[in-house]
A and B are shown apart, each in its own frame.
Chain A
Amino acid sequence: MLIEFSVKNFLSFKDKVTLSMEKGIGNENLENTITNSITDLLKTAAIYGANASGKSNILKAFTCAILMIRNSNLISIDGKWDFIKPFLFDENSKNKPSEFEFIFIANNIKYRYFFSADASRIYDETLDAYYSQKPTNIFTRTKTNIYEFSNDKNKLEPLAATNTENKLFLSTATTWNYDKTKDAFLWFLTTIDTYTSFNKISDKDLIDYSNNDKELKKFALKLLKESDILIKDIFVDYYEEKKVDRTMKDILTSSLLGINEKDKNINVNIELEHEVIDENNNTHTYKLNFNDESSGTKVLFALAPFLKRSFEKTKVIVVDELERSLHPTLVEFIIKLFNNEKINKVNSQLIFTTHATNLLNLEIFRRDQIWFTEKNPNNGISRLYPLDSFSIRKDENIQKGYINGRYGAVPFINDVDLWLEDK
């Protein structure tokens, strides 16, 4: 579970900003919170902001850090992390590393993991584990190549000696089977994920659908039904076809020439069965090809396996513009699924950016679950702050307050006739 995520000097975030999933004060909507022996947490958080205010950059910061941790072992010795980009509109910051910090719970232990890096190298890196109230430092790395270990020096020093400047030590130590970094690394590998959209369905999900996974079909049909889309059944044909038998020589030649040649053709056919009642009250069923379905139906079809997984195993899901292709009431429904303790029994967390003002309602969210991004138009710096940093009445109409600009994070748009005057 995520407690806090901070980022500094990355894209529009020049100064450190922190997204906290810790429960704030107030006992309203307690079903939206997770009671935990370490600290009480929030199940969901929504991030609002004008266009180009930095909302998506939060998601990019999560993605950048997670991808670096996951792929550190795959990067070549001279490889560059091209997607890591500092705040560029400042002579000082543009040459400094970006900083990322995660505070999270993995296997009932709280961890704090921090690293600073630019495209070419890692500068600082620290992992602390909280086996008790006080942190135990697992490793500290400074100035790229200086390592400090309070325990297990014999094991870790040889690993540090082989680690390259562009690899994260968290990944290297875990690859070499060091047990005290394993849970933290696995949290990044399997628990936290970011999504920019649900327009594509992964091959794994298609295989699950095609294998007649009754539970998945049942879940998807229920989700579609709750969304007022009446689909009777789902049929997925998924089969892989070998292109040709390739010899080892073919494989080596193509890889030496840098040709990424797939040796499989994937064939997918999806049909959804609709039931209609004619004027004589007779029921008929018709199958419609997936390509002809509405974009909302397609998104729900892709969303179903993702939601099902989230309610089976604890996940932290970060989504950009959750409402894309979805009706606002459906977005509200998805949030309520996450907040519902009988459905989300495993305490998965959902963090999403959105423009959906219908969700700005203190009956849906607590004051600590709503966040805003605002960019200073003069210096281009984005800030991130929660609604509970303001004095908000428990019965305040926060939708009106947001639209009226009381919390910032809304675009400032003049009347159209002033546009004409500016000609």
Chain B
Amino acid sequence: MARRQVKKKKKPLIVICSEGGKKSSEYFYFRNYSSRNLRIQFSTGNSTDPKGMLEDLLKYLDNEDIKSEDNFKIFLILDTDLDEHRIEEIKKIESECIKNNIEIITSSPTFEIWYIMHYRNNKLTFKTSKDVKKELQSLYSQYTESVNMYKIIKNSTDNARKTAYLLEKQIIKNNEDLLRANPHTNIYKVLEAIDEFNKEKYQ
């Protein structure tokens, strides 16, 4: 007789690298999407520049032995800060990211523009990241980076997804450089990956 077994798929995993790791707004937002059947992990590291963050992420993936073939997604979430030097740096690491199966997610000027998109779909252009956060505080007075904004805005996420997607579509249609487009965010792509994993059954 031979050992009988039913083949199973490993449970899915999303790894996110964002500036500030477990102290970043991205962490306090995306941890709400983690579940028994879908782990969302944040890589560790102190770098704030795109190249350094990618190095930290690759080191983390190696340490955690995340190189399995199936069922994972890795995102490097970066703010452009509307900074030309930073945008150039992001462009420089693109090919290394593709090679390592890492998807770059960018926001202009900053991740918090994603929160603003939950409130409206116009007047989204800001001059600095600070202005975005200031505006967010006027929309939700208790806002800080560590506040659980997910709870406050979750009912409007479909609207934000639509706004972000349409903005991106328009930028591409206009043949504009996405990284230099203000505003933009493709954070919605992380949610698409979460939706995709949650559709699967892991029993």
Docked-complex contact A18 and B4, CB < 8 angstroms: yes
Interface string of B155-198 (1 = CB under 8 A from A): 00000000000000000000000000000000000000000000
Docked-complex contact B11 and A408, CB < 8 angstroms: yes
In the complex, residue of chain A having the shortest beta-carbon distance to the beta carbon of B72: A406
Q: How far is the CA of A388 from the CA of B68 in the complex (A)?
A: 15
Docked-complex contact A406 and B10, CB < 8 angstroms: yes
What is the distance, in angstroms, from B74's C-beta to the closest C-beta of chain A? 13
Known: A385-B8, A405-B39, A406-B13. A391 touches B3 (CB 8 A): no
In the complex, residue of chain B having the shortest beta-carbon distance to the beta carbon of A388: B5
In the complex, residue of chain A having the shortest beta-carbon distance to the beta carbon of B31: A415
Docked-complex contact A404 and B31, CB < 8 angstroms: no
Docked-complex contact B65 and A401, CB < 8 angstroms: yes
> Of A368, A389, A421, which is within 8 A of B6 by CB?
A389
Interface string of B44-81 (1 = CB under 8 A from A): 00000000000000000001111011100000000000
In the complex, residue of chain B having the shortest beta-carbon distance to the beta carbon of A393: B68
Q: What are the residues of chain A within 8 A of B7 when measuring CB–CB?
A: 389-391
Docked-complex contact A23 and B9, CB < 8 angstroms: no
B148 within 8 A of A: yes
B99 within 8 A of A: no
> Of B1, B5, B8, B41, which is within 8 A of A404 by CB?
B41
For the complex of A and B, list the 8 residue pairs with the smallest distance between their C-beta atoms, beginning with the closest: A397-B65, A22-B3, A412-B36, A405-B39, A406-B10, A389-B8, A400-B65, A24-B3
Q: What are the residues of chain B within 8 A of A414 when measuring CB–CB?
A: 31, 34
Interface string of A380-423 (1 = CB under 8 A from B): 00010110111101001100110011111000101100100100
> Of A23, A396, A407, A412, which is within 8 A of B3 by CB?
A23
B2 within 8 A of A: yes
Docked-complex contact A389 and B5, CB < 8 angstroms: yes
Q: What are the residues of chain B within 8 A of A400 when measuring CB–CB?
A: 63-66
Q: What are the residues of chain A within 8 A of B8 when measuring CB–CB?
A: 385, 389-390
In the complex, residue of chain B having the shortest beta-carbon distance to the beta carbon of A381: B203
B151 within 8 A of A: yes
In the complex, residue of chain A having the shortest beta-carbon distance to the beta carbon of B63: A400
**Residues of A in contact with B (beta carbons under 8 Å apart):** 3, 18, 20, 22-24, 39, 103, 368, 376-377, 383, 385-386, 388-391, 393, 396-397, 400-401, 404-408, 412, 414-415, 418, 421
Q: How far is the CA of A376 from the CA of B203 in the complex (A)?
A: 8
**Residues of B in contact with A (beta carbons under 8 Å apart):** 1-11, 13, 31, 34-36, 39, 41, 63-66, 68-70, 148, 151, 202-203
What is the distance, in angstroms, from B60's C-beta to the closest C-beta of chain A? 11
Docked-complex contact B6 and A22, CB < 8 angstroms: no
Known: A390-B10, A404-B41, A406-B13. A396 touches B5 (CB 8 A): no
Q: What are the residues of chain A within 8 A of B151 when measuring CB–CB?
A: 421
Q: How far is the CA of A408 from the CA of B10 in the complex (A)?
A: 8
Q: How far is the CA of A393 from the CA of B34 in the complex (A)?
A: 26
Known: A396-B68, A400-B65, A412-B36. A405 touches B6 (CB 8 A): no
Q: What are the residues of chain B within 8 A of A24 when measuring CB–CB?
A: 3, 5
Known: A390-B9, A406-B11. A22 touches B68 (CB 8 A): no
Q: How far is the CA of A23 from the CA of B2 in the complex (A)?
A: 8
Q: What are the residues of chain A within 8 A of B65 when measuring CB–CB?
A: 396-397, 400-401
What is the distance, in angstroms, from A208's C-beta to the closest C-beta of chain B? 38
Docked-complex contact A407 and B11, CB < 8 angstroms: yes
What is the distance, in angstroms, from B32's C-beta to the closest C-beta of chain A? 8
In the complex, residue of chain A having the shortest beta-carbon distance to the beta carbon of B15: A404
What is the distance, in angstroms, from B64's C-beta to the closest C-beta of chain A? 5
Q: What are the residues of chain B within 8 A of A389 when measuring CB–CB?
A: 5-8
Q: What are the residues of chain B within 8 A of A103 when measuring CB–CB?
A: 1
